[in-house]
Amino acid sequence: MSGIYQPEFVSAKKNLNRQGTKVLHDIANAYETGVFDDPKSSLMFCSLLACICEGKVQGVLDEETMSVKWSLTSEYSAQLDALRDAMTQVGLESGNVVKGPWT
């Protein structure tokens, strides 16, 4: 079977298509503001694109500023919360965490 028909590719393409106009708007904005001229900013932008393809991030176009506001999807945010809680629990059970208002 050809690599382009793998489930990961199909899923990434769907996620990217859902955010397509916002991605194009943000690419044009990144080009205009020089994001691609700085290697660190360029790498961060590519990481954002990867998160969009993975379905971790969604965008909303701010009509006032005409900029895209990116945020975590509710599903990915819930996954991160569960991971944080699990890590906190492991730390508490290990006895290496000082209990305080943060735990």
Collapsed DSSP state (helix, strand, coil) of residue 62:
strand
User: Residue 5 has what pLDDT?
Assistant: 66
Residue 67 tokens, joined: 């900029």
d(CA 46, CA 49): 5
Same domain, 51 and 78: no
Same domain, 79 and 90: yes
User: Residue 1 has what pLDDT?
Assistant: 47
User: Residue 75 has what pLDDT?
Assistant: 96
Q: Which domain holds residue 63?
A: 3-72
| Count of structural domains, the chain | 2
Provide block-wise average pLDDT over 10 residues at a time, the chain (103 residues).
71 96 96 95 96 97 92 97 93 82 68
Same domain, 16 and 46: yes
Same domain, 44 and 79: no
d(CA 96, CA 100): 13
Same domain, 66 and 86: no
